[in-house]
Chain A
Amino acid sequence: MMGKASGFSLVEVLVATVILGIALVPAMDALRTGMKGTEMHQGFQEQHYHLMSKMEEVLAESFSLLNSAVGINTVPSSYSNSSENYNVYLSFYDADNADSDDNVFTGTDNVLWVRTELIDSGLAFETLVAP
Chain B
Amino acid sequence: MIIRRKTHGFTLIEVLIVVAISGMLMVSLSNVVGGALTVSEVSKSQNDLNREAGYILDHIVQIISRSPEVNTGFPGIVFTAKVDPERDSDMDNYPDVDNDKDGEVDEGPVDQDWGDLIIYRFFSDTQRLIEEDPFPADVNEDGFHSDADRRAYTVSENVTSITGTLLPKNATRSFDLLTVNLELTGGNGDAISRSVTIRVGGAL
Contacts and interface: CB of A to CB of B under 8 A. Distances in A.
A45 B199 contact: no
Contact of B5 (A2, A27, A42, A50): A2
A122 B54 CA distance: 20
B18 A38 contact: no
Contacts of B173: 60-62
Given A28-B32, A31-B40, A60 B7 contact: no
B72 to A, nearest CB: 17
Contact of A56 (B18, B36, B53, B197): B197
A5 B43 contact: no
Given A10-B17, A59-B202, A62-B172, A42 B50 contact: yes
Contacts of B53: 45
A56 B5 contact: no
A52 B57 CA distance: 11
Interface of A is mostly: helix
Interface residues of B, number: 40
Given A53-B195, A53-B196, A35 B43 contact: yes
Contacts, number: 86
B179 to A, nearest CB: 7
A109 B177 CA distance: 28
A17 interface: yes
B174 A10 contact: no
B32, B61, B175, most chain A CB atoms within 10 A: B175
A119 B62 CA distance: 27
Contact of B177 (A10, A46, A60, A65): A60
A59 B7 contact: no
Contacts of B50: 38, 41-42, 45
B39 interface: yes
B177 A7 contact: no
A13 interface: yes
Interface of B: 5, 7-10, 14, 17-18, 21-22, 25, 29, 32, 36, 39-40, 43, 46-47, 50, 53-54, 57, 61, 169, 172-177, 179, 192, 194-199, 202
Interface of A: 1-2, 4-5, 7, 9-10, 13-14, 17, 24, 27-28, 31, 34-35, 38, 41-42, 45-46, 49-50, 52-54, 56-57, 59-63, 65
